Amino acid sequence: MSELSERKKLILSAVVEQYIKSGEPVGSKELIALTGMSVSSATVRNEMSELSSMGYLEQPHTSAGRIPSQKGYRYYVDNLMKDREIDELNRRMIEAGISSAAGDPERLIAQAGEVLAELTKCACVSTAPGGDTVIIRKIELVPVGIHSAMLVLLTSNGILKSRLCRLDCELTAKILEEFYNIVDSCIIGKPASDISVVSMQTAAASVDSDPFAMLPLMAAVCELARSMEDSRIILGGSSNLFSHKDYGVGAIELFEFLNKREPLSAVISGIKEPLDIIIGKENLYRQLENSSVIVAKYSVGGRDSGSIGLIGPTRMDYESIIPSVKYLTDIVGKMITQAIEE
């Protein structure tokens, strides 16, 4: 990619930022007024023509001004966009919007997505903490009846799951003691992915009392561990897409696409960087070719645990949106880490 002159950079940046604001092609006279350049309109038109030849700008109509191309947006995001901090109003809105869910990681992630969608008027996709790195941190068995108990499982990522277990026999102190012996020796500190039906059946068979009494409890542990393995895809604000004129009738197809969880999972899982921006046809799916996807990872206890991302038109306000995404993922990771440590 050839390096742009300083004037071309100034013009491209101004076109991108003005087009994001107005949604209208930007002309040479408007650019001079925006940038304060002391050059003629003819000079600016020549520069814009060269930028178009290089693939950074497009001309929708013969007599119209220019708009950014996908290549233009990419160059702007990578090289020209100012590195901004989140503004105070957005920071307060994020903190107020998620504070009530501080102790519940799954609810926190869902709420964070709703807040970000409302703030940016884009669709938000996020993943609750999960995956094959989740470690089982604690298990409690709370008797609720003679033949039943509530099993509660807590993971290293702060997710709490529970389910009611029913036994054919009476839930005695002996069964409880042997259950916790198995938990301490075979389950606590192990990845959720290591908890299998076979390993739990083997553990049940090792008890001194009736192994059949232990089987329902071990099956419940296995079921809860399995539910921890995969990150849950959460979609919020998809109806926001209908407010963007850039999509037109394509908003319906995109809305239907986003409500299918499988492709969203592929989009999120393909992100390798702490923050990634995928513009237009850089996306894997045809339905996203007129969209940009901004995804950032959040960490829990120093380990990547999930992602929060936005999907909106390529004409989105990258400069103000990206700081909000960064701040939200940072605060979500800290809140989940704090909840676990407490």
- Among residues 16, 163, 164, 127, the alpha carbon closest in space to that of 76 is found at 16
Identify the band that residue 130 occupies on the pLDDT scale cut at 50, 70 and 90. low
- Whether residue 268 is contained in a domain is answered as yes
41 vs 1 pLDDT, higher one: 41
Reported as a single tens digit per residue, the pLDDT across 269-315 is 778 889 999 999 999 899 999 999 999 999 887 877 789 999 999 99
114 shares its domain with 246: yes
Residue type, 161: K
Read off the tokens for 109. 């992630």
Assess whether 124 and 270 both reside in one domain: yes
Average pLDDT over residues 166-195: 87
Which of residues 198, 229, 260 is at a domain's end? 229
Strand order in the sheet with 291-300: 233-236, 123-127, 303-313, 291-300, 275-279
What's the average model confidence in pLDDT over 31-43? 92
Same domain membership, residue 124 and residue 237: yes
Higher pLDDT, 58 or 301: 58
Residue 264 in domain: yes
What value does the mean pLDDT of the chain take?
Answer: 88
pLDDT at 128 over 80: no
Residue 50 lies in a domain: yes
C-alpha angle with apex 97: 93 to 99, nearest 5 degrees?
A: 115
Both structure tokens of 192: 């959720």
Do 12 and 92 sit in the same domain of this protein? no
DSSP state of 71: H
d(CA 324, CA 94): 8
Residue 293 lies in a domain: yes
Give the total number of structural domains in the chain: 3
> Could you tell me the sign of the dihedral formed by the alpha carbons of 43, 46, 51, 52, in that order?
positive
Last-in-domain residue among 229, 255, 288: 229
Residue 1 has pLDDT above 60, yes or no: no
Between CA 160 and CA 83 the distance in angstroms is 37
Mean pLDDT of 26-48: 93
How many whole angstroms separate alpha carbon 58 and alpha carbon 114? 34
Which range is most confident: 12-16, 206-210, 244-248? Answer: 12-16
Is residue 256 in some structural domain?
yes
Report CA 169 to chain centroid distance, whole Å: 45
Same-domain pairing of 215 and 236: no
Taking the C-alpha atoms of residue 202 and residue 207, their distance in angstroms, rounded to an integer, is 9
Distances (CA, A) of 103 to 100, 108, 114, 212, 338: 8, 8, 17, 36, 9
CATH of the domain at 53: 1.10.10.10
- Please say if the pLDDT value at position 132 is more than 90: no
> Taking a C-beta distance cutoff of 8 angstroms, is the pair 292, 260 a contact?
no
* Same domain flag for 251 and 218: no
CA-CA distances (angstroms) from residue 129 to 16, 63, 157? Answer: 36, 52, 6
Residue 277's pLDDT is 96
Residues 112 and 242 in one domain: yes
Question: 139 is written with which tokens?
Answer: 């298990």
Q: Are residues 96 and 192 in the same domain?
A: no
Give the model's confidence band at 240: pLDDT under 50 very low, under 70 low, under 90 confident, else very high: very high
Q: Are residues 156 and 213 in the same domain?
A: yes
Q: Specify the CATH number for the domain of residue 300.
A: 3.30.450.40
Alpha-carbon distance of 106 to 128, in angstroms, equals 6
For residues 312-322, give the mean pLDDT: 95
Cα 100 to Cα 277: distance, rounded to the nearest angstrom: 30
pLDDT value at residue 131: 56
The mean pLDDT value for 195-220 works out to 82
Mean pLDDT is highest, among 40-54, 60-74, 196-210, 252-266, for 40-54
- Domain membership flag for residue 203: yes
Can you list the positions of beta strands (E) in the chain?
57-58, 67-68, 123-127, 136-145, 148-155, 160-166, 233-236, 275-279, 291-300, 303-313
276 lies in which domain range? 88-129+231-341
- What is the CATH number for 142? 3.30.390
Tell me: do 122 and 248 sit in the same domain: yes
* pLDDT score at 46: 95
Cα–Cα distance between 103 and 125 in angstroms, integer? Answer: 21
Is position 141 within any domain? yes
Task: Please count the helices (runs of H) and the strands (runs of E) in the chain.
Answer: 12, 10
Residue 129's pLDDT band (cuts 50, 70, 90): low
Residue 54 and residue 25 share a domain? yes
3-state secondary structure of 227: helix
User: Do 337 and 282 fall into the same domain?
Assistant: yes
**Distance (Å, rounded) from C-alpha 27 to C-alpha 210?**
83
291: which DSSP letter? E
- Which residue among 39, 61, 80 closes a domain? 80
Assess if residue 1 is contained within a domain.
no
